[in-house]
């Protein structure tokens, strides 16, 4: 998701009806680095939009996923987390606090997939998950 306006335009072209509540979900996701779940987004936005239903949040995320404006992440069992950064990148999930960190590939990269593994394939997305304990949790003994 690059900009609010572009996402809104795309949704209009898809014939998606834009309500205030749906726009609030889109605004919440724009530039969000937390990889929130639908439940977490609902919990957060309900403070301001009291009549906001969970299904409005979930359906909006679903549509955003269909038009490639968010990437649903299968990191935890029975729950999706959503990332507005749809560029291929890795994630590191902390077992201690549940935070999901981005890990990017740089072109000379610390993290590289051996060339012969990817040769001839077109990779559209990448959902490798690193699991372990983050440095904060290690320090606090939270594991
Ligand atoms: Zn942690
Ligand atoms: Zn991410």
CATH number of residue 72's parent domain: 1.10.10.10
Q: How far apart are CA 33 and CA 81, in angstroms?
A: 11
Same domain for 56 and 12? yes
pLDDT one-digit tens code per residue, 103-136 = 777 666 566 555 565 577 676 666 677 788 999 9
- C-alpha distance across the termini of the chain, in Å: 33
Same domain for 11 and 75? yes
Same domain for 33 and 100? no
- Residue 48's pLDDT is 96
CATH of the domain at 97: 3.30.1490
In the structure, ligand 2 is a single-atom ion and the residues with CB under 5 Å from it are: 83, 102
**Ligand 1 centre and the CA of 122: distance in Å?**
33
Bridge partners of 128, per DSSP, are none
Say which ligand is closest to the CA of 143: 1
Enclosing domain of residue 126: 90-140
**Ligand 1 centre and the CA of 139: distance in Å?**
10
Same domain for 20 and 74? yes
Say which ligand is closest to the CA of 93: 1
- Residue 62's pLDDT is 96
Mean pLDDT of 10-29: 95
Same domain for 65 and 23? yes
Say which ligand is closest to the CA of 99: 1
**Pick from 66, 83, 100: which residue ends a domain?**
83
Same domain for 53 and 11? yes
Q: How far apart are CA 78 and CA 80, in angstroms?
A: 7
**Ligand 1 centre and the CA of 25: distance in Å?**
26
The mean predicted confidence, pLDDT, of the chain is 88
Same domain for 75 and 8? yes
Residues with Cβ < 8 Å from 28, sequence gap 6 or more?
Answer: 36, 41, 44, 45
Same domain for 67 and 45? yes
Same domain for 54 and 103? no
Say which ligand is closest to the CA of 86: 2
**Ligand 1 centre and the CA of 43: distance in Å?**
21
Say which ligand is closest to the CA of 89: 2
Say which ligand is closest to the CA of 36: 2
**Ligand 1 centre and the CA of 124: distance in Å?**
29
Domain count of the chain?
A: 2
């Amino acid at each position: 998701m690059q900009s609010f306006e572009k996402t809104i335009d795309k949704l209009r072209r898809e014939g998606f009806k834009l309500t205030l509540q749906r726009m609030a979900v889109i605004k919440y996701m724009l530039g969000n680095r937390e990889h929130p779940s639908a439940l977490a987004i609902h919990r957060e936005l309900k403070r301001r939009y009291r009549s906001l239903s969970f299904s409005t949040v979930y359906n909006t995320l679903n549509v955003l996923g269909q038009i490639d404006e968010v990437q649903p992440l299968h990191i935890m069992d029975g729950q999706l987390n959503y990332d507005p950064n749809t560029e291929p990148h890795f994630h590191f999930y902390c077992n201690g606090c549940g935070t999901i960190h981005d890990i990017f590939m740089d072109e000379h990269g610390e993290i590289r997939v051996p060339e012969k593994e990817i040769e001839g394939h077109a990779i559209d997305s990448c959902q490798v998950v690193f699991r372990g304990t983050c440095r904060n949790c290690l320090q606090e003994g939270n594991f």
